Amino acid sequence: MQPRRPPPPALLLSLWLLPSLALAAAASADPQYTDVPRQSPAVGLPRGILQLAARAALHFFNFRAGSPSALRVLAAVQEGRAWVDPQEGCKVDLVFSTEQYNPEQEGEEHSGKCSARVFFKNEKPRPAINVTCTQLFDKVKRQEKDYLLYKQMKQLKTPLGTVSIPDSHGHIDPSLRPLWDLAFLGSSYVMWEKTTQFLHYYLVQLSSVKQLKTDDDSIDFDFTVLLHEFSTQEIIPCRIHLVWYPGKPLKVNYHCQELQSPEEGSGTVEGSAMAQNEFNNF
């Protein structure tokens, strides 16, 4: 019996390249693919970590901006890399594009770009975030819009109490839009603080609103929102107390009803208390 001939060098090279080609194809085909360095174990890294990190960064960004007129939502993750340290947690560096949350004005730029570093401590909420975004809104126009919204809220004649915003058809009455935008702004803090590397949140509905009297000119609201918790698919009611005045740091405290540990679902913060986190243009 003759000994088998070794495969030609070209075939050996193609076989050696197959895993690399397959990996590259997966990265280009799957927007949720995460580039993890070989030396960093990927154990416990959830699928879609780049999108989750981008949403957490935007929740933090929206809260710190403190402007209902400057709200942004995620458009797409453009690039990113995640590292996993079994003892510490997961660190994500990424670049993503954003869109204006309520693009009503024609002739304005509605898209932008952000870069962020997000650090998730092992299964703990409130990721540490450094985020920088390109300027998306003219400062003077944004201030004018915020003050117009502020005046609308001060003159609001619709009885407050039990509401459904949006309604069962997903519609938001224009007269109630300022309420929804303020609820979205206050909820941004709650969603950021509750996010972990395995859980993220989406605002589903504003279900009740109570406007409180204040000793100054600020707007003071107690409201209840429903948050959709991924990946448990639970709907979480959260009561939020929000104090807002255009150009000043947002003040938020909240309590969420949860099946696990209700005491872990409450928090309080003022925007100025977050100065240790990097926060740039909006």
pLDDT in tens, 198-247: 899 999 999 999 888 777 889 898 999 999 998 889 999 999 999 999 99
Residue 167 lies inside a defined structural domain of this protein: yes
pLDDT at position 211 is 82
Residues 145 and 223 in one domain: yes
Confidence of residue 77 (pLDDT cuts 50, 70, 90): very high
- 2 belongs to a structural domain: no
Q: So what's the pLDDT on residue 163? A: 83
Rounded to an integer, what distance in angstroms lies between the CA atom of residue 91 and that of residue 84?
7
| Number of structural domains in the chain | 2
Using only C-alpha atoms, what is the Rg of the chain?
23
**Mean pLDDT to the nearest integer, 5-9:** 47
Same domain, 191 and 232: yes
Do the Cβ atoms of 50 and 94 come closer than 8 Å? yes
Residues 69 and 142: beta-carbon distance below 8 Å: yes
pTM for the whole thing? 0.75
Closest alpha carbon to 189 in 54, 64, 49:
64
- In the chain, the amino acid numbered 107 is G
**Domain match, 116 and 190 both:** no
Which of 213-222's residues contact partners 24+ apart within 8 Å by CB, and which partners?
Answer: 214/243, 216/245, 217/245, 218/243, 218/244, 218/245, 218/248, 219/150, 219/153, 219/154, 219/182, 219/243, 219/244, 219/245, 221/182, 221/186
Q: Is residue 102 part of a domain?
A: yes
Residue where one domain finishes, among candidates 76, 106, 132:
132
pLDDT in tens, 43-67: 456 678 999 999 999 999 999 999 9
Contact 20, 77 (CB under 8 A): no
Domain termination site, one of 132, 155, 182? 132
Do residue 70 and residue 179 come from a single domain? no
Q: How much of the chain, in percent, has pLDDT values that exceed 90?
A: 47
**173 plus 200 within the same structural domain:** yes
Residues 87 and 204 grouped into a single domain: no
Q: What is the pLDDT of residue 238?
A: 97
- Both 165 and 191 in one domain: the answer is yes
269 with 142, same domain? yes
Looking at per-residue pLDDT, the higher value among 258 and 29 belongs to 258
Q: Is residue 152 part of a domain?
A: yes
Q: Cβ of 197: how many Cβ atoms within 10 Å?
A: 26
Eight-class DSSP state of 66? T
Choose the final residue of a domain: 97, 132, 167.
132
Percent of the chain exceeding pLDDT 70 equals 71
Check whether residue 89 and residue 110 sit in a common domain.
Answer: yes
Residues 176 and 257 in one domain: yes
Q: What domain range includes position 236?
A: 138-273
CA 12, CA 156: separation in Å to the nearest integer?
74
Does one domain contain both 146 and 268?
A: yes
| pLDDT above 60: residue 29 | no
Same structural domain for residues 221 and 120? no
Structural domain includes residue 31: no
